[in-house]
Chain A
Amino acid sequence: MTLLTVRNLQVTYRSETAVSRPVDGASFTINPREVVGLVGDAGAGKSTAALALLGLARAPGAITGGEVIFEGRDLLKLPEDDMRAIRGRDIGIIVQNPRAALNPLLRVGTQIGNAYKAHNQSTEAEARKQAVDMLRMVGINDPDRRVEAFAHELSGGMAQRALIAMALSSRPKLLIADEPTSGLDVTIQAQFLDEMWQTVQATGSAILLVTQELGVIANYCDRVLVLHDGRIVEDAPVRQFFESPRHPYSQDVLRLFRERGGEYPAQITGDRNFLKTDALTKHFPLRNSKKVVQAVDKVSLSIGRAEAVGLVGESGSGKTTVGRCLLRLVDATSGQITFDGTDITALLPADMRKIRSRMQIVFQDPYDSLNPRWTIEDLLAEPLRVHGTPDRATVRAKATAALKLVDLDPALLDRKPRGLGASTLQRVNIARALILDPEFVVLDEPTSVLAPRARNGLIALLAKLQKDLGISFLFISHDLTTVRYLCQRVAVMYLGQIVEEGTVEQVFSTPRHPYSAALLSAHLFPDPINRRVDHPVPAALQGEIPSPIDVPKGCYLASRCPHALEACRATAQTLTQLPDGRQVRCMRVVNGDI
């Protein structure tokens, strides 16, 4: 007996100027206790479909057709009050951006209590007790204090736990999880999904897990639904989906995963110190305080000619600031940066400008990094004009060539960024960075806002460009799958420090620093054979990242590390080379204890 059957669901958005149908004839089923993944590109209508299961649509949208049959009743035909009774009691939902979904004016405990009271006869005191119990159940420490918190006082992970506490307070038969981990860090994401999975095993709910991440699908789902052009185009058990996707869209999404195999990129030979930092440090002063934010703390890094080095870490690790310091977009507080033998930290502005034509950067957000008022041609011409006075024909020719290099149609030259997709714009950014034939490029999470399919295409392009043009890359990312595919060496950062550095093979196959190990164990590789839920991994680290304002005296990880000793807390750790050539910042690893 199926729990939920959806037939020909259709949602229509009608505005003053346009009508569109993000969901247009979607049909699928969910069985009791089953974990079903719903994948699709950004904007494919996944969230819209998830909301429609509850009979809701964001303004100005409306559900314009189809059936949602839950336990034998068509929810879309129920009277308003009956529908309200089912929402939250029989079907719970958690959404992305949990902090916005919490009422900013009410305490979290009150909100959970309200949710409970809506579906259960209870007094104020019982509701409150229920709120505390639920928060404890979803893994929040000292729930008695947290019920008093407001949404803005919670971290993203905490807020998502508060939502799930609300969603599960009446033990629903189905939980809809709409990209629940989209804003969360890697370690928090795995922790949260593990807890969600376990909690649901206890309550006996089925899950519809909406996501863009193949890693999430592979590790947690039993079955996969692919939403494309408003319809379900593929419905397959998870292993079958990864082994032999049938729909062309699915094949596209899985291409990178299927092509890669187990090979690591070959190491470079030749100049290893083309770009080198020595004890690079960046402190940001705090307003009205003598304290500083230690964004980057004595980072020494070297990148060889034509080498791709990955810089990984969670948000707040300082990896982005390192990239900005290298190009002197922010000036380092202390330390040296040597580029091809020249110390650029001390260069005068005029000399620095000359060097800028040899080093470039691509930013994370493609929409934000192109001036919306300029045409693509003008945007591509800007670097040429800053570093010379080219005539129109030269500009046109070079701009055309640059677009071709990134597989874009030269017809785009006369358009403005508005209306172009993220992937196209990011390619324009790359073309712009490459138009001066730089020798070194910083890629600051260039794929993080792209949908999986576009991401695959862009990564393949970057790999090809790096090989063909012999450029050095510093690839900043939190996505380990990408780094493994693209880079020869990798450095892992935590709270402004490099904690481990070595070849990708070394770090990925045998991580030595406890933080690297934790990061890798938390990473959800898209591998349905070794599912996380089948081989439960104990949480490698406890708690959340400490503030970079008051850093610990000794090892920065000591408060979260399962191997920490008194000595770790007392003494500052140094980056030390191991016999196999990698460097690790951990005295216990160096001493051979772990």
Chain B
Amino acid sequence: MLWRYIAKRLLIGVVQLFGLIIAVFFLIRLLPADPVSRLVGMNASEEAYAQAAAQLGLDQPVMTQLAQYLGLQPSVQPGLLQGSLGISWVTNEPVLSEIGAYLPVTIELITLAFIVALLVAVPVGMLGALNPGGRTDKGVFLYSLFAGSQPEFWWGLLFVYVFYYQLGVAPPPLGRLSPMTNPPDFVTGFMLIDTLIAGSLPKFLEALHHLMLPVLTLAFILSGPIIKMVRQNMLRALQSDFVLYANCIGLPKKRVARYALRAAMAPSMTLIGILYGFMLSGAVLVESVFSLGGIGQYSIRSVLAFDYPAIQGVVLIITAISLLVYLLLDLVHAAIDPRIAH
């Protein structure tokens, strides 16, 4: 039953990803951009232009390009079916390995930000729900509305000004480690893990220090929707018939609280999944404020350079991860709430 559900979801996901690949592929080729002249420069000779176009495969008919990209038609490079996302036009590196280097940065950042945001937002949201309409609740509610509608890149800059320039407690926003520090060997790509593998506690602490402000910024922005959701779900649970009934039959307070908590957590899973998926690309502005070099910055670079294989790869990978996260959290949801499997 469960495995069939997972298989069905994965199948739908694959179909959706395929639709996405096709859509992105045609969309970027329909737009009036000229990647060749971006690559060889405006003043290049016609021969140089033609040669570059041929090298990128852009002289072929569009359907041939698609077939080559998908790996249905033999060409110089392997295609998607062979497990390759193509070669970047800018760096000549395989897109997949480039993404492999950039993605962990983003995942590390947003995972930490989610942990911090949840640690703050869950109790705060519940606090608001305990006395709906009260002073605390109004404050909590206003805060969630405010935090949820803020320009995160500006707050990042503001934090840099306050914590780095004015107070001097944060490092300058120049990357994951100080430019003077030798980065540890690349193992997982997660700086916090790689520094530990390298056995260097000082580097680990330095990485943590450099993550402080970006995580704070993102956690601040994330706390808005999470508080709002926790408050709403908790409110709904507390005002539900079954919590009232649990009180009616004199269940102990602790037991009633557990009933409500569980009912409030179940629907929260889905929204947290959606938020996480959104943040994979939504962290882009914070990454660039702090020069972290995550997947968001990689996509900025690719887009501005008209690097088609890289753009396609980034969109594909981010969407695929989002879909997996949705599935995972839906499964958690189904484990809590027996009605979902129905």
Do any CB atoms of chain A lie under 8 A from CB atoms of chain B in the complex? Answer: yes
Q: A105-B266, A105-B336, A152-B339 are in contact. Are A84 and B242 (CB under 8 A)?
A: no
Contact between A87 and B247 (Cβ–Cβ < 8 Å)? yes
Contact between A88 and B244 (Cβ–Cβ < 8 Å)? no
Instruction: List the B side residues contacting A95 at CB < 8 Å.
Output: 241, 245, 248
Indicate which residue in B241, B259, B263 contacts A97 across the interface (CB closer than 8 Å): B241
A70 to B250, CA, bound (A): 16
B32 within 8 A of A: no
Residue of A nearest to B242 (CB): A103
B51 to chain A, nearest CB (A): 56
A251 within 8 A of B: no
Interface string of B216-238 (1 = CB under 8 A from A): 00000000000000000000001
A342 to chain B, nearest CB (A): 46
Contact between A105 and B263 (Cβ–Cβ < 8 Å)? yes
Residue of A nearest to B253 (CB): A84
Indicate which residue in B133, B250, B263, B342 contacts A89 across the interface (CB closer than 8 Å): B250
A140 within 8 A of B: no
Contact between B249 and A93 (Cβ–Cβ < 8 Å)? yes
A54 to B245, CA, bound (A): 11
B101 to chain A, nearest CB (A): 43
A59 to B240, CA, bound (A): 10
Near B by CB (< 8 A), chain A positions 565-589 give: none
Contact between B338 and A87 (Cβ–Cβ < 8 Å)? no
Residue of B nearest to A152 (CB): B339
Interface string of B135-168 (1 = CB under 8 A from A): 0000000000000000000000000000000000
A556 within 8 A of B: no
Residue of B nearest to A97 (CB): B241
A58 to B248, CA, bound (A): 11
A594 within 8 A of B: no
Residue of A nearest to B262 (CB): A105
Indicate which residue in A60, A89, A101, A114 contacts B255 across the interface (CB closer than 8 Å): A114
B61 within 8 A of A: no
Near B by CB (< 8 A), chain A positions 312-368 give: none
A167 within 8 A of B: yes
Instruction: List the B side residues contacting A84 at CB < 8 Å.
Output: 247, 250-253
B60 within 8 A of A: no
- What is the number of residues of chain B that contact chain A, defined by CB distance less than 8 Å? 27
Indicate which residue in B133, B253, B337 contacts A104 across the interface (CB closer than 8 Å): B337
A168 to chain B, nearest CB (A): 10
Indicate which residue in B240, B249, B262 contacts A88 across the interface (CB closer than 8 Å): B249
Indicate which residue in B245, B250, B253, B336 contacts A101 across the interface (CB closer than 8 Å): B245
Q: A89-B250, A92-B249, A119-B250 are in contact. Are A60 and B244 (CB under 8 A)?
A: no
Near B by CB (< 8 A), chain A positions 12-54 give: 16, 51, 54
Q: A59-B132, A114-B255, A152-B339 are in contact. Are A88 and B248 (CB under 8 A)?
A: yes
Near A by CB (< 8 A), chain B positions 263-283 give: 263, 266
Instruction: List the B side residues contacting A97 at CB < 8 Å.
Output: 241
A93 to B250, CA, bound (A): 10
A104 to B255, CA, bound (A): 15
A115 to chain B, nearest CB (A): 5
Instruction: List the A side residues contacting B263 at CB < 8 Å.
Output: 103-105
Instruction: List the B side residues contacting A104 at CB < 8 Å.
Output: 242, 263, 337-339
Contact between B338 and A115 (Cβ–Cβ < 8 Å)? no
A56 to B249, CA, bound (A): 11
B188 within 8 A of A: no
A104 to B247, CA, bound (A): 16
B239 within 8 A of A: yes
A409 to B169, CA, bound (A): 75
B239 to chain A, nearest CB (A): 5
Residue of A nearest to B256 (CB): A84
Contact between B250 and A105 (Cβ–Cβ < 8 Å)? no
A101 to B246, CA, bound (A): 8
A124 to B7, CA, bound (A): 38
Contact between A51 and B133 (Cβ–Cβ < 8 Å)? no
- Interface size class of chain A, counting residues whose CB lies under 8 Å from the partner chain: 20 to 34
A163 to B245, CA, bound (A): 10
Interface string of B299-342 (1 = CB under 8 A from A): 00000000000000000000000000000000000001111001
Residue of A nearest to B235 (CB): A59
A97 to B239, CA, bound (A): 15
A87 to B250, CA, bound (A): 5
Contact between B241 and A88 (Cβ–Cβ < 8 Å)? no
Q: A87-B249, A105-B262, A114-B255 are in contact. Are A56 and B244 (CB under 8 A)?
A: yes
A98 to chain B, nearest CB (A): 9
A196 within 8 A of B: no
Instruction: List the B side residues contacting A62 at CB < 8 Å.
Output: none
Indicate which residue in B252, B259, B262 contacts A118 across the interface (CB closer than 8 Å): B252
B295 to chain A, nearest CB (A): 37
Contact between A152 and B342 (Cβ–Cβ < 8 Å)? yes
Contact between B248 and A114 (Cβ–Cβ < 8 Å)? no
A132 within 8 A of B: no
Residue of B nearest to A85 (CB): B250
A102 within 8 A of B: yes
Contact between B249 and A100 (Cβ–Cβ < 8 Å)? no
A154 within 8 A of B: no
Indicate which residue in A54, A58, A92, A118 contacts B251 across the interface (CB closer than 8 Å): A118
A40 to chain B, nearest CB (A): 20
Interface string of A279-315 (1 = CB under 8 A from B): 0000000000000000000000000000000000000
Residue of B nearest to A84 (CB): B250
Instruction: List the A side residues contacting B241 at CB < 8 Å.
Output: 95, 97, 100-101
Contact between A59 and B239 (Cβ–Cβ < 8 Å)? yes
* B238, B251, B263, B342: residue with the most chain A Cβ atoms closer than 10 Å: B251
A476 to B184, CA, bound (A): 79
Residue of A nearest to B252 (CB): A118
Instruction: List the B side residues contacting A60 at CB < 8 Å.
Output: 132-133
Residue of A nearest to B259 (CB): A103
Q: A59-B132, A104-B242, A105-B262 are in contact. Are A51 and B248 (CB under 8 A)?
A: yes
Contact between A114 and B342 (Cβ–Cβ < 8 Å)? no
Contact between A87 and B255 (Cβ–Cβ < 8 Å)? no
Indicate which residue in A80, A118, A150, A152 contacts B249 across the interface (CB closer than 8 Å): A118
Residue of A nearest to B266 (CB): A105
Residue of B nearest to A150 (CB): B338
Instruction: List the A side residues contacting B337 at CB < 8 Å.
Output: 104-105
Interface string of A98-122 (1 = CB under 8 A from B): 0011111110000000110011000
A131 within 8 A of B: no
Q: A84-B250, A167-B249 are in contact. Are A100 and B338 (CB under 8 A)?
A: no
Indicate which residue in A59, A87, A100, A152 contacts B242 across the interface (CB closer than 8 Å): A100
Q: A118-B252, A118-B255 are in contact. Are A101 and B338 (CB under 8 A)?
A: no
A207 to B339, CA, bound (A): 34
Contact between A115 and B249 (Cβ–Cβ < 8 Å)? yes
B134 to chain A, nearest CB (A): 11
A86 within 8 A of B: yes
Instruction: List the B side residues contacting A150 at CB < 8 Å.
Output: 338-339
Residue of A nearest to B338 (CB): A150
A106 to B251, CA, bound (A): 14
Residue of A nearest to B337 (CB): A105
Residue of B nearest to A57 (CB): B244
A166 within 8 A of B: yes
Residue of B nearest to A83 (CB): B250
* B241, B244, B248: residue with the most chain A Cβ atoms closer than 10 Å: B248
Contact between B266 and A86 (Cβ–Cβ < 8 Å)? no
A89 to B262, CA, bound (A): 25
Instruction: List the B side residues contacting A56 at CB < 8 Å.
Output: 244, 247-248
Among all A-B residue pairs, the 6 with the closest Cβ atoms: A87-B250, A88-B250, A88-B249, A100-B241, A101-B245, A84-B250
Q: List 6 A-B contacts (CB under 8 A).
A: A54-B247, A84-B247, A101-B244, A105-B262, A105-B336, A150-B339
Having A93-B245, A101-B244, one finds 13 other A-B pairs with CB under 8 Å, namely: A16-B133, A54-B247, A59-B132, A89-B250, A100-B241, A101-B241, A105-B263, A105-B336, A105-B338, A114-B255, A118-B251, A118-B255, A163-B245
